[in-house]
Structure 1
Amino acid sequence: MDLKPLARDERADLAAFLETLTPEQWEAPSLCAGWRVRDVVAHMISYEGLGVRDLAGRLAQGRLTVNRTNAVGVAGSSERTPDELLAMLRQRLQPTGLTAGFSGLIALTDGVIHHQDIRRPLGMSREIPAERLLPALRGALKLPVIGGFWRARGVRLVATDLDWSRGSGPDVRGPAEALLMVIAGRRGIVPELSGPGRQRLADRVERPPRDG
């Protein structure tokens, strides 16, 4: 299934939301440790259109660690204004290059997670369309860079608002969006979940990042 149209819709919704933010909200912290809203947007833009050779160069700059490599991309847009970042995002709604991988699963999963990284700390919730949320859950468990498979191993994830479950072991139950954000490694969300497997998942999510 081609997921790129869904990724484009997710990015378009994010762009429309960002357009409503005040300058102060653009500077507010996100769920990504150490990143403001503007940094999350810069991160998303920084990977758009990257090919294999470009990615290899960035990985070398980041000394082959995920967080440092991400920081390289964000630093490249650190001087851009919110209006410039928003304009760049609007120009990159259609996934290309690396983000179009796995039929657009990378772009869709990345878009849904980072949209929530911005919205949650601002207290501005939304209802994510199920046709985007379900593939994003699959992507979070499948894509190695996210690490969801490692965090969710040995538990059974059960969405209470969608017909979705994955894994085996003691149950961890909760809204699909909360499950997504927890297996993506976002802290402070585990209390929204329930079930005998919750502590096992919490032990993996709430620990400090491995590569700084």
Structure 2
Amino acid sequence: MQLSPHYDFPIIVSIDGSPSDQCVPLVRQRRRLEDLLRGLSDEQWNAPSRCGTWTIKDVVVHLAGVNRFWQASAAAGIAGTPTRLLGGFDPAATPSMMVDSLGSITSAAALEMFVSSNDALLATVADLDDTAWTVVAESPMGHVSLRLVMQHALWDSWVHERDIMLPLGLTPAVEADEVRSCLQYAAALGAALSIGLGQPITGWLSVQAANPSVIFAIEVTNLVAISELADGVVSVTASCLQGDAVQLAEALSIRVPLASSAPHEWHALLGRLATAFDTPSEAG
């Protein structure tokens, strides 16, 4: 389905944290994935990923393509002229069309595209001060802070890194700051898209995850606000999602089923995300 980004003020999503806290994990995750890809054989490049009919190479081509959007969005936001490119964007159909449009390319060409697009993106956000990280830029949710645009970019690449590695029998790295960022963003994205669909899951939700410890609350009104909580501090009135942090991030990214014992509000929120991405909410 087509997205309906929120371009008006107030900004639709806020997430607790330092303005520049996405920079280190953003760089680390992309460089790590580059190193992994350099070591793959041609057979592995053409092996199936977790993304439907996409091969590993298709996933990398997709990441290179969306990097160009992240870079353009960041540059426009820093310049004070945030883009409005995603009205009517279909997150289910458009990425596949982008990959298909390139036809057959070599694994070496796909890797070069990915590395060069990473270089351009990371150069755009290098050496920014905290004020620059708070400028408004475009994400699939609409106009948010540049920090949240890069948080979406990290989440997308982190999930796709796992889409590449797990089918190959490889063990993905687990970095606490990356997991925290991706789990929080996946939760925020589902809540924001529920508002965009006109079917918001309003009220208070919370997450209490382990390995690493990630604890936060979400308030959903006509906006989404995520607040980090101290260990053991979870509202008794909030629908609390509990479990392993990586597995919860995977579930909220529609990669593994959400436990049937999870609060019904979380199943409803995941259903809204699945609707937006035209994906079964219990994908395995």
Compute the TM-score of the two structures, normalised by the length of structure 1: 0.75
* Aligned residue number for residue 188 of structure 2: 142
Structure 2 counterpart of 1:185: 254
Once the two structures are superposed, residues 47-86 of structure 1 have per-residue CA deviations (whole angstroms, 9 ceiling, x without a partner) of: 2233469973xx68xx642111111221233322111111
| 1:113 aligned partner | 159
Distance 2:247 2:194 in 1: 13
Matched-pair contact (CA < 8 Å) for 2:65–2:98? yes
Q: Which has the higher strand share?
A: 2
- Inter-CA distance 24–75: structure 2 relative to 1 (3 Å threshold): same
Which string of whole-angstrom CA distances, capped at 9 and with x for unpartnered residues, describes residues 134-184 of structure 1? 112222122369959989x98643322122134532x54332111111101
Are 2:210 and 1:160 aligned?
yes
Confirm or deny: 8 A CA contact 2:61 2:113 kept in the other structure.
no
Name the amino acid aligned to 1:90: V
The structure whose residues are more often helix, as a share, is: 1
Aligned to 1:130: 176
Contact 2:62 2:98 in 1 (8 A): yes
- Would the aligned equivalents of 2:194 and 2:269 in 1 still touch at CA under 8 Å? no
Against the structure 1 CA distance between its residues 119 and 206, is the aligned structure 2 distance closer, same or farther, given a 3 Å change threshold? farther
Q: Secondary structure at the match of 1:89?
A: helix
- CA RMSD across the alignment: 3.6
Q: Which amino acid aligns with 1:79?
A: S
Give the match for residue 102 of structure 1: 147
Which whole-Å CA distance do the structure 2 matches of 1:201 and 1:122 have between them? 30
- When Rg is computed on C-alpha atoms for both structures, the one with the higher figure is 2
Residue 97 of structure 2 corresponds to 72
> Secondary structure at the residue paired with 2:261?
coil
Query: How does the TM-score come out when normalised to structure 2?
Result: 0.58
Contiguous gaps of at least 5 residues in structure 2: 1-18, 74-81, 125-136, 140-144, 218-237, 279-284
2:190–2:269 contact (8 Å) kept in structure 1: no
SS in 1 for 2:153: helix
- Asked which structure has the greater RCO (Cα within 8 Å, sep 6+), the reply is 2
Match of 2:60 among 29, 41, 45: 41
- The count of residues paired between Structure 1 and Structure 2 equals 202
Contact 1:11 1:93 in 2 (8 A): yes
